[in-house]
Amino acid sequence: QVQLQESGPGLVKPSGTLSVTCNVSGVSVSSTYWWSWVRQPPGGGLEWIGEVFHTGTIYSNPSLRTRLTLSIDGSQNQVSLRLASVTAADTAIYYCALDSGLTEWGPGILVTVSS
């Protein structure tokens, strides 16, 4: 059974870099799945962030592309997201999910951007 668990700092200062790690169990992150990221501002709708494959191929939302880094660490069986130059508008629950079809989700982590 695939399980995903997000972790990272819950508070980031404006202009800083937001980092979230997704710990994966039950499947290798180096297998034939894409690893997706979605975010949801408090009380808001869902926004697709992007997806990464173990080969390093990344597809991302153009609205975030210049600030976004997605990566995979096969040795730790983790997937990671980094978002640079954050503002209050980046405050959201960040979810990782299995595959492009978002078939399984982690519980999410709330990251607040505030000084």
Partner 1 sequence: DVQMTQSPSSLSVSIGDRVTITCQASQDINRDLSWFQQKPGKAPKLLISGTSTLQTGVSSRFSGSGSGTIFTLAINSLQPEDLATYHCQHYYSLPYSFGQGTKLEIK
Return the residue of 45, 56, 75, 115 that touches partner 1, per CB under 8 A: 45
The secondary structure element, H or E, covering residue 7 is: strand 3-7
102 lines the binding site for partner 1 (CB under 8 A): yes
108 lines the binding site for partner 1 (CB under 8 A): yes
Can you spell out the DSSP letters for 39-100?
Answer: EE-TT---EEEEEE-TTS-EEE-TTTGGGEEEEEETTTTEEEEEE-S--GGG-EEEEEEETT
Q: Which is nearer to partner 1, 16 or 104 (CB)?
A: 104
Q: Which is nearer to partner 1, 53 or 59 (CB)?
A: 59
Return the residue of 15, 46, 76, 88 that touches partner 1, per CB under 8 A: 46
